[in-house]
Amino acid sequence: MPLQRSLSEISDLDELKNNLDDCGRCSLSGSRTNLVFGNGDPNASLMFVGEAPGFYEDQKGEPFVGAAGKLLDQLLKQILGLNRSNVYIANVLKCRPPENRDPKPEEISACKPFMLRQIEIVDPLIVVTLGNFSTRLLLDRTVFISKIHGEPIIINNRRVFPVYHPAAALYATKTKELLIEDFKKLGDLLIEADRDIEREQNSKENKGEEQLDLF
Ligand code: SF4
């Protein structure tokens, strides 16, 4: 299915979504009920990237609407004081793998360019990768979430913050505790990222004033 325009020319989430409607770039197109593009604040500072839609997401066409989504909502609200409408949420794959099996490499390759462009368009301060698949996609290497969760990594001048997938924490107390700890760190990281932006803006304004003083 050819793109109407090259991905790098697309600077709007709606247009990117339109390019995925009826997508048949991998075999998951044959089993999906709905394509799950992602939703939330298109200008969010915080973007979450999960793995793939599950049963309820496939039914509703929205990301994280099942039990894992409820846990994510709780973490957002109780630790960060945020709602869904304050963040942007998407998945590596836009279509549900049958029986919620792991994504296959060829499916990730087919969907990856859209995920990466989605991040570029939202342009968040922090991308929170939920679980192994989105972390590996963003880091472009094989890593294990158990080894690298809770530590920010700079990729292409953007903070990437890997945490456990909320689904993995639903029935595992220890994993849930780690996820809660990481969300607390995420709150600090968000404050730090906001301060960096403020400092950058102040420095630009000061330079502008200095240049005006020369005249
Ligand atoms: S998973 Fe991605 S590449 Fe595969 S059919 Fe769905 S939208 Fe297209």
Residue 20: inside a domain: yes
Give strand pairing partners of 155.
Answer: 158
pTM for the structure as a whole? 0.93
Q: Is the CB of 93 under 6 A from ligand 1?
A: yes
Residue 1: inside a domain: no
Q: Is the CB of 28 under 6 A from ligand 1?
A: yes
Assign residue 24 the CATH number of its domain: 3.40.470.10
| Longest Cα separation, the chain | 68
Report the candidate in 37, 26, 193 with the shortest Cα–Cα distance to residue 103. Answer: 26
Residue 172: inside a domain: yes
Cα(131) to ligand 1 centroid in Å equals 19
Q: Which ligand 1 atom is the nearest neighbour of the CA of 110?
A: 3
Q: Is the CB of 23 under 6 A from ligand 1?
A: yes
Nearest CA to ligand 1 atom 5: 29
Q: Is the CB of 95 under 6 A from ligand 1?
A: yes
Pocket probe mutation, ligand 1, options 7, 31, 94, max atoms within 8 Å of Cβ: 94
Give the pLDDT of residue 200.
85
Give the pLDDT of residue 144.
98
Report the candidate in 112, 96, 88 with the shortest Cα–Cα distance to residue 61. Answer: 96
Residue 2: inside a domain: no
Q: At 34, phi and psi to the nearest 5?
A: -135, 145
Residue 78: inside a domain: yes
Report the candidate in 188, 193, 187, 179 with the shortest Cα–Cα distance to residue 72. Answer: 179
- Total number of domains constituting the chain: 1
Distances 170 to 26, 46, 158, 173, 175 between C-alpha atoms, Å: 30, 22, 29, 8, 8
Give the pLDDT of residue 183.
98
Give the pLDDT of residue 124.
97
Nearest CA to ligand 1 atom 4: 26
Give strand pairing partners of 156.
Answer: none
Q: Is the CB of 115 under 6 A from ligand 1?
A: no
Domain hosting 186: range is 7-213
Give the pLDDT of residue 24.
96
How confident is the prediction along the chain (215 residues), in pLDDT tens digits per residue?
556 678 989 999 999 999 998 999 999 999 999 999 999 999 999 999 999 999 999 999 999 999 999 999 999 999 999 999 999 999 999 999 999 999 999 999 999 999 999 999 999 999 999 999 999 999 999 999 999 999 999 999 999 999 999 999 999 999 999 999 999 999 999 999 989 888 888 888 888 777 777 66
Q: Is the CB of 111 under 6 A from ligand 1?
A: yes
Residue 192: inside a domain: yes
Give the pLDDT of residue 201.
86
Q: At 155, phi and psi to the nearest 5?
A: -125, 120
Cα(72) to ligand 1 centroid in Å equals 24
Residue 63: inside a domain: yes
